[in-house]
Amino acid sequence: MQGEASPLRIVPATPADVEALAALLVETVAGNGSVGFMHPLDPAQARAFWEASLREVAQGGRIVLCAWREGTLLGTGSLVLVSAPSQPHRAELTKVMTSHAARGAGVGAALVAALEDAARARGRRLLTLDASLVDGPSGFYRRLGYRTTGDIPEYAYKPLGGLAPTRIMWKLLDAREPAPLPVDPAADERFMRLALELGERAAREDDEIPVGAVLVSAQGEVLGQGWNRNIGDHDPSAHAEILALREAGRRLGNYRLLGCTLYVTLEPCAMCAMALVHARIARLVYGAADPKTGACGSVFDLLGDPRHNHRVEVTGGVLGEEAGRRLSNYFRAKRGKPPL
Ligand SMILES: [Zn+2]
């Protein structure tokens, strides 16, 4: 095992790595590892394989990562980015191998985690793989959260001979770093109209400040709705945004609302902005800016602060004039003034 002081470095493969990658492939095949080749593997054939792989990398069809420690290649793994138009969300995990010297040192798990991050960065949510069932790594992938679809008998020859079955496995990646949602101005207006209607209910039914909020999933489903309930509920935290987040959390059974968009008629305050960060909301769309307490750019900029480990995309001013006019009219009515 390697010294623990020097960190593992996982980086994309370059043409300069072909020799080391070829040596690792030859070693893996000699160890009966099922990576598509038969033993003995000619080093020239191994080099040609990696040269072809790196050409695919250059064309955007593949990702190849290398795990290095102190100048020694300890492992590699590849991601084939499926290019069919119907599968923009999918990629195949393949050619994951670690050197004999690195076994048990967590190199394989670190490589798979790095490949998953690379997949997320390319907007891929579903990873598939096949793992040989004879001395194969299906247990390793199961521990990393991959699920089994089934086994195919007599799938491929092992490098040292003999047909072996394979296990088809897959994993849906969590949306820790979801691809930015496609922004659709028509959908933004539609959901903002719903938020405006909810705001009207705050004023009409509860005589509260007319702010409404709608929480929408990445699939466009309304998961939560809310309007201001501070006075009625004797609750300083009962802002429209918080109530919409609470409803969505109950519905999903999860306080993390990954990939969701919050629509709210007024720029959120600091409390609500931080709640959006805690919930890992992907995007905020607000109507009117709030020059007094707005925390999404007007007075504070909590969502744009690089010190947070989660970023929320922000679009302001959607039906902003209408939202602002409704708020003004609510306060004008309180003072007995005619609406604008
Ligand atoms: Zn608030």
Domain with residue 195: its CATH number is 3.40.140.10
Query: Is 265 within the bounds of a domain?
Result: yes
Strand-pairing partners, residue 98, are 75
Q: Is 296 annotated as a binding residue?
A: no
- Asked whether residue 330 falls in the same domain as residue 203, the answer is yes
pTM of the model: 0.54
| pLDDT given at position 177 | 45
- Statement to judge: residues 30 and 104 lie in one domain: yes
Euclidean distance between CA atoms 311 and 266, whole angstroms: 20
CA atoms in the 13 A half-sphere facing the CB of 10: 22
Instruction: Find the catalytic residue in 92, 116, 241, 267.
Output: 241
Q: Does residue 178 lie within any of the structural domains?
A: no
Q: What angle do CA 315, 317, 318 make, to 5 degrees?
A: 80
- 84 occurs within a structural domain: yes
Q: With respect to residue 340, please indicate whether it lies within any of the assigned structural domains.
A: no
Nearest alpha carbon to residue 80 among 56, 50, 108: 56
Cα-to-centroid distance, 190 and ligand 1 (Å): 22
Q: Which whole-number Å values give the CA distances from 24 to 46, 49, 98, 130, 316, in the listed order?
A: 9, 12, 8, 20, 52
Question: How high is the mean pLDDT in each 10-residue block of the chain (340 residues)?
Answer: 68 96 97 94 97 93 94 96 85 95 88 90 88 86 88 94 94 64 87 96 91 90 93 95 95 83 97 95 95 94 84 93 95 91
The number of folded domains in the chain is 2
CATH value at residue 42: 3.40.630.30
- Helix pair angle (270-278, 240-252), 10° resolution: 20
Q: Confirm whether 241 is a catalytic residue.
A: yes
159 and 213 in a common domain: no
Final residue before a domain boundary, out of 139, 172, 205 = 172
| Residues 125 and 199 occupy one common structural domain | no
Range of the domain at 217: 185-335
pLDDT at 3: 43
- Among residues 138, 172, 206, the one where a domain terminates is 172
Shared-domain flag, residues 238 and 115: no
Report whether 66 belongs to an annotated binding site.
no
For residue 302, the model assigns a pLDDT of 93
